Structure 1
Amino acid sequence: MTKPPRKPAQPLLGDADAPLRSRPRKKRDPAQPNLPFDPMPARVDPCLALLKPKPPKGRQWAFEVKWDGYRIAVHIEPSGVRILTRGGHDWTDRFPAIATEARRLPVSTAILDGEAVVFDELGRSDFGRLQQSLGGRGGNRSSREAVMMAFDLLYFDGHDLMETEFTARRHLLEGLVPAGGEEAVRLSEEIEADGDTLLRIACDHGLEGIIAKDRNSTYRSGCGGDWLKIKCIQSDGFTIVGYQMSGAAFGNIGALLLAARKGDELIYVGSVGTGFKADEAMKLRATMDKIKATKPAVVYSGGRKNLTWIKPKLVAEIEYRAWTHDGKLRHPSYKGLRELQDNATVYELE
């Protein structure tokens, strides 16, 4: 169940003239010097990628595929394995295949940073399929299909690596999680290509985008600019503030009314009426009907009728092409609800 097809890997890596796979590296020497151990942190706030419209230039930047899933940290300890979400919630039981494979890694203690994903039939990470495998938002199902794409190593054999440059952390990670694996913990490979070329190839293959990382940077929590994300299609979280009733639509949801954040205020940014599946729409409707509100949480002048307002407690992941001149989402499509455990963030308007 944890071995989806790898069809896109070869075309993605073969379209450019230069070889795009990571260069093979020497395996680490197990006879390491006896260095003093560093205390293992119970949790690390993740380093976040800053959204940019174009890939950066220069040899200092390393590039990877952007994965579409849940950010997780896998803690390997003498007492066992813990899998923590971006918000710090323990989801070890939700990802049993990842936990089992992590226990097999040849290391005593480690913290791996990565993304839990589920692949579609073409080998692309699919956020909707990941949510379905977990039983939907708020579900408690375990996902045996989920795979971890590991892209950083924060702690290794008793040593804190967060003040170590990214290139050295990457070197150790590649020795721990070899490239080309088919198990539940896999290496998110560095792809040696020009950023513009890689972004074009990624978009041609229907991927979400790419990530650029400063090779010389240490690991800093938050959005500091050491990591950058460049997307083929924009995708962000928006608060659901209401919905339009429709007898002809799944779950009788004609459209969701969306809001972004501007300081402490919610601003209406349009509606979305596509991307719903029948079973998801029914669950979403039932969830929204439990948090109905008597008045809207935003200033609304959209002109739609048959509206039901809800409390702004749900965050939807929305794909969209651009923004209109009056600050509304252009060609939006619903992808799913973000989990509170995933520390769901709402788009911030400038």
Structure 2
Amino acid sequence: MTKPPKSKPLLQDADKPARSRPRKPRDPAQPNLPLDPMPDRIDPCLALLKPNPPKGPQWAFEVKWDGYRLAVHIEPAGVRILTRGDHDWTERFPAIAAEARRLPVATAVLDGEAVVFDTHGRSDFGRLQQSLGGRGGNRMSREAVLMVFDLLYFDGRDLTGTELTARRHLLEGLVPAGGEEAIRLSEEIEADGDVLLRIACEHGLEGIIAKDRNSTYRSGRGGEWLKIKCIQSDGFAIVGYEKSTASFGGIGRLLLAARKGDELVYVGGVGTGFNERSAGELREQMDKLIIGRPAVNTGRKRNAVFVRPKLVAEIEYRAWTHDGKLRHPSYKGLRDAADNAGVYEVG
């Protein structure tokens, strides 16, 4: 039996050593594949208010947190914590900044909400403000926790054009669920939206957030994220107050306005929700803004003091009356300019 002929390496002479071709020199006109530049700022995706949770498998649900929206930028040079209004508050959240430095990543941008929890584990906006020294204060908050719900930039890559499901997958690898650190994952909750909203309301939470799993990250209120509240809560401009000798800070009722186009319109008053401290701080702020005539038509008011509409109050309310006034309102606190406080727009 004859032996098969000795095979040759493909396309080569068997007697010559195998050798790869020398590389051509790189064309300097052809750049290397670059990393995405680290953004200085990303305008946040905002949730659109809806009366009921959406239906369908593409919607993911989370708890709605009540705090300050923050973006945490992690770079080799350090950590920056920016508010929604583009203020650098790195020094005011030292625990969050320190935890961000410990995360196993070289570059990242985290999107989340700084909160302070009450004794029942609910986010409490009033406690957060107090921990920061009140509205306009400059204290550091060591109690604040960042509930992080999105990852916008990761290890040199811009993720804003990537669908939510992929962003969440990367985020969950970076910030695991169930931690007790200053940066914690805002977990997705597998439940029917109506059931989850009912449970959230029963536990005294503000509401829930619904997010389209297939959506990219788009700044503004495009409808990819929705918020459904147990109790309505929005920002209203303070246009004055009615004096009272029997109330905290001498404030009987705050006079409130909403935005309608380029103008403000009166939407009623609020006389509950104050304590001695919050009313005192509020009165001090309002007394710096007193004007002789009201900025909006409030109707006839006794013992009223009118102020320039520079302060935005967060007001909880149940509904609207037929004549466009707030029903069962309650004062929650002053929104800070650093949180890009907006005034509610009536239709």
Q: TM-score, normalised by structure 1?
A: 0.89
Query: Secondary structure, in 3 states, of the residue corresponding to 2:191?
Result: coil
Q: Choose from 330, 335, 338 the match for 1:333.
A: 330
Query: Secondary structure, in 3 states, of the residue corresponding to 2:290?
Result: coil
Look up the equivalent residue of 2:95 and give its one-letter code. A
Offset of 1:277 from its aligned partner? 1.3
> Which of structure 1's runs of 4+ aligned residues deviate more than 6 A?
none
CA distance in 2, matches of 1:248, 1:255: 11
The Cα offsets for residues 48-94 of structure 1, whole Å up to 9 and x where unpaired, read as: 00000000000000000000000000000111110000011100011
- Are 2:144 and 1:149 equivalent residues in the alignment? no
Q: TM-score, normalised by structure 2?
A: 0.90
CA distance in 1, matches of 2:199, 2:227: 15
- Are 2:92 and 1:102 equivalent residues in the alignment? no
1:279 — aligned with what? 277
CA distance in 1, matches of 2:121, 2:34: 42
Query: Secondary structure, in 3 states, of the residue corresponding to 1:63?
Result: strand
Query: Secondary structure, in 3 states, of the residue corresponding to 2:309?
Result: strand
Using CA pairs under 8 Å that are at least 6 residues apart, name the structure with larger relative contact order, 1 or 2. Answer: 1
CA distance in 2, matches of 1:293, 1:162: 46
Offset of 1:35 from its aligned partner? 7.2
Q: Choose from 168, 171, 174 the match for 1:170.
A: 168
2:44 — aligned with what? 46
Offset of 1:36 from its aligned partner? 4.0
- Are 2:243 and 1:240 equivalent residues in the alignment? no
The Cα offsets for residues 5-52 of structure 1, whole Å up to 9 and x where unpaired, read as: xxxxxxxxxxxxxxxxxxxxxxxxxxxxx9741101000000000000
Q: Choose from 319, 323, 336 the match for 2:320.
A: 323
Offset of 1:280 from its aligned partner? 1.4
Query: Secondary structure, in 3 states, of the residue corresponding to 1:313?
Result: coil
CA distance in 2, matches of 1:334, 1:153: 33
Q: Choose from 303, 306, 311 the match for 1:309.
A: 306
Q: Choose from 194, 213, 217 the match for 1:215.
A: 213
2:80 — aligned with what? 82
2:346 — aligned with what? 349
The Cα offsets for residues 132-186 of structure 1, whole Å up to 9 and x where unpaired, read as: 1111110111111100000000000110000000000000000000000100000
CA distance in 2, matches of 1:197, 1:102: 34
Offset of 1:279 from its aligned partner? 1.2
CA distance in 2, matches of 1:35, 1:84: 30
Offset of 1:326 from its aligned partner? 0.7
Structure-2 change in CA distance of 1:82 and 1:263 (3 Å): same
| Structure index of larger Rg | 2
CA distance in 1, matches of 2:316, 2:131: 20
Identity of aligned residues (%): 79
Query: Secondary structure, in 3 states, of the residue corresponding to 1:186?
Result: strand
1:27 — aligned with what? none
CA distance in 2, matches of 1:325, 1:142: 44
Larger deviation, residues 279-288 vs 60-69: 279-288
- Are 2:223 and 1:225 equivalent residues in the alignment? yes
Look up the equivalent residue of 1:312 and give its one-letter code. P
- Are 2:302 and 1:295 equivalent residues in the alignment? no
Q: What runs of 5+ residues in structure 1 fail to find an aligned partner?
A: 1-33
2:12 — aligned with what? none
CA distance in 1, matches of 2:298, 2:201: 35
Offset of 1:304 from its aligned partner? 3.2
Query: Secondary structure, in 3 states, of the residue corresponding to 2:310?
Result: strand
Query: Secondary structure, in 3 states, of the residue corresponding to 1:64?
Result: strand
The Cα offsets for residues 244-271 of structure 1, whole Å up to 9 and x where unpaired, read as: 1111111101110000000111000000
Look up the equivalent residue of 2:236 and give its one-letter code. F
CA distance in 2, matches of 1:79, 1:296: 50
The Cα offsets for residues 208-233 of structure 1, whole Å up to 9 and x where unpaired, read as: 00000000000000000000000000
CA distance in 1, matches of 2:216, 2:99: 27
Q: What runs of 5+ residues in structure 2 fail to find an aligned partner?
A: 1-31
CA distance in 2, matches of 1:127, 1:222: 22
CA distance in 2, matches of 1:199, 1:283: 34
